[in-house]
Amino acid sequence: MAEMQDQLKRLTNQRKDKLWEILFAISCVTLFTLPIILNVSLYKDDFNRAYGGTLQWDTDGRIIGYLLYRIAHLGSARAVFDHPLGAIVCIPIMLLGGIFAYLLFQRKSLIWIGILSILLFGQPYFLENLSFSFDSPLMVLSTSICIAAAWICVSGEKPYLQAVSGSLVTIALLIYQPANNAFWIPVCVIAINSWGQTIKTGENNNPLVFSTRKLLFRCGLIQASSLAIYKIILTPFFKLNEYSNSVLSTLE
């Protein structure tokens, strides 16, 4: 917990001469999103939702995503997002994900916020899905939450921190399930890097607050418990559509 507080303190106490680094990070994400904002039209799913104005995420098992859109539309059951509002909404959320990745990998320069944001969201899968004006904010938000969960998992040994990390992973599943990879992949990268440093130097230079084995065990426990809560406890309350039921049947 103390290490997390120190990281946040260093982040918030940056000097004014670091302003250009902050502007660089913001510019990276904005310029990356700009072509999608300017040139990509609505996709099929967007046309269906724009024409019918309905919210369908609850039937996909994404009940928190559904709730967020109901709140954004002041309780209305109809979605009225116009292109490119979805992509514009993604910009600050992508920066938030970059901040959590910056804290997770313990970078010093703030330009890494922009670089890590691009590495997270600038790959082909997100380039395609950011063009979905309705779905993209949920995709980006869920990914950022998983990165935050990974940072909390790595940064402290206290049991309540692991409970918070697991809760965030479960919330991310209820927003957009495929973003779950953004939790365990960074943790595994950190574990592999820690092992590599130990093998290279022949000394225990582990920068973590606990061993890599313990880290992987905690990550696996958080992952398994979150999936179990989602599947066993929460799924029975979902009213899934025909498509979601067919996908679910292939996984069983």
Residue-wise pLDDT tens digits, 149-162: 999 998 877 888 89
Given a cut of 60, whether residue 93 has pLDDT beyond it is: yes
pLDDT exceeds cutoff 60 at 120? yes
How far apart, in Å, are the Cα atoms of 71 and each of 24, 52, 54, 87, 127? 32, 19, 14, 19, 27
pTM recorded for the entire structure:
0.84
Q: What tokens were used for 101?
A: 């990745």
Average pLDDT over residues 165-182: 92
Contact yes or no for 147/97 (Cβ under 8 A): yes
Given this model, what pLDDT does residue 4 score?
Answer: 59
Select, from the ranges 37-46, 48-57, 83-92, the one with the highest average predicted confidence (pLDDT): 83-92
Reported as a pLDDT band with limits 50, 70 and 90, residue 223 is very high
Mean local confidence (pLDDT), 236-245: 72
pLDDT at 207: 54
Residue 71 clears pLDDT 90, i.e. is over it = no
DSSP code for 123: S
Mean pLDDT of the chain: 79
Nearest to 28 by CA among 121, 138, 129, 127: 121
Task: Check residue 245 and give its pLDDT.
Answer: 67
- The pLDDT > 70 percentage for the chain reads 71
Question: What confidence tier does 235 reach under pLDDT thresholds 50, 70, 90?
Answer: confident
Cβ–Cβ contacts within 10 Å for residue 171, how many? 17
Q: Where in the sequence is the domain holding 49, given as residue range(s)?
A: 2-251
Residue 200 pLDDT: 63
CB atoms within 10 A of CB 249: 8
Percent of the chain with pLDDT over 90: 21
Angle at 228 between CA 243 and CA 211, to 5 degrees: 130
What is the pLDDT, as a whole number, of residue 150? 94
pLDDT of 247 strictly over 60: no
* Confidence grade of residue 249 (pLDDT, cut at 50, 70, 90): low
Question: What single letter denotes the amino acid at residue 120?
Answer: L
Structure tokens at 19: 């302003």
Number of domains in the chain: 1
The pLDDT score that the predictor gives to residue 28 is: 87
Termini Cα distance of the chain? 39
* CA distances (Å), origin 30, targets 94, 98, 99, 109, 117: 10, 13, 15, 19, 11
Which tokens sit at 175? 């927003």
